[in-house]
Amino acid sequence: MTAPPGLCFSGRVSVGGVEILAPVSLEVPAGRWTCLLGASGVGKSTLLQCFAGLGDGLVLEGTARASDGGALQGRVAMMAQADLLMPWLSVRENVMLGARLRGLRGDVARAEELLRRVGLEALAGRRPRALSGGQRQRAALARTLYEDRPVVLLDEPFSALDVATRARMQELAAEVLRGRTVLHVTHDPAEAARLGERVFVLTGQGLSEVAVEAPEPIPRAPDTGETLAVTGRLTRLLLDAA
């Protein structure tokens, strides 16, 4: 993998003339895991979509670019809130969907290894309708990791998982995506405190960074004093902004 770029955003976003993301500036450092928190509707997912190059009628007045000046197209993998699994494909085929869309032969061994690691190896041949919500989310995570991109955008990637499974998937993602540029939208302060090397809170008043002073690498233990302190600060910021 080539060195991943950072991400730079500056501007505002509207749809049909209605502002859905107020003017903000964000610098996402290269090769690190950045978490973005904020209330629903404040524009977090919109910001991810700008980097992913998705349309949906979005009008960006400003820039969403890679820090190295190169195109983001072809270097970004995104996991949206909806799992977006194709109902006519098996779980295994869904993991390899990106390769199929690019006209390439999928790497079955790699797909099956990722499904093993997310705990779905026994369900690889099933259709998505046979999976629970949490299983579908893990399949979508496996598909995102399969893409092997230097920039990864995650939109609430663990929200449908129980506590123990969520912790294991956080650990897997942190391992596989180490050294990549990750921008992770979450509503969970504890998740941001565990995974974020940089942490930002987005409100209607703008964007602010929260200092993370935990020395251990991610994923941090959820019950250390440093992790709990960051969780508390983030929770207080979100309460004050509500």
Q: Is it the case that residue 214 has pLDDT exceeding 70?
A: no
What is the structure's pLDDT at 1? Answer: 67
- Strands of the sheet with 76-79, listed across from one edge: 76-79, 151-155, 181-185, 33-38, 198-203, 206-210
| Residues 11-44: tens digit of each pLDDT | 999 998 899 999 999 999 999 999 999 988 899 9
The token duo for 115 is 């499904």
| Residues 94-120: tens digit of each pLDDT | 999 999 999 999 999 999 999 999 999
> Is 12 within 8 Å of 6 (Cβ atoms)?
no
Task: Give 175's contacts (C-beta < 8 A, 6+ positions apart).
Answer: none
| Residues 54-99: tens digit of each pLDDT | 777 889 999 999 999 999 999 999 999 999 999 999 999 999 999 9
Whole-model pTM: value is 0.95
- Average pLDDT (160-178) is 97
For domain 7-75+149-241, is the CATH number 3.40.50.300?
Answer: yes
Q: How many CA atoms lie within 13 A of 79 on its CB side?
A: 30
> Is 215 within 8 Å of 200 (Cβ atoms)?
no
Q: Is it the case that residue 201 has pLDDT exceeding 70?
A: yes
| Residues 120-132: tens digit of each pLDDT | 999 999 999 999 9
What is the structure's pLDDT at 221? Answer: 93
Which of left, alpha, beta for 12 (phi over 0: left; psi -120 to 50: alpha)? beta
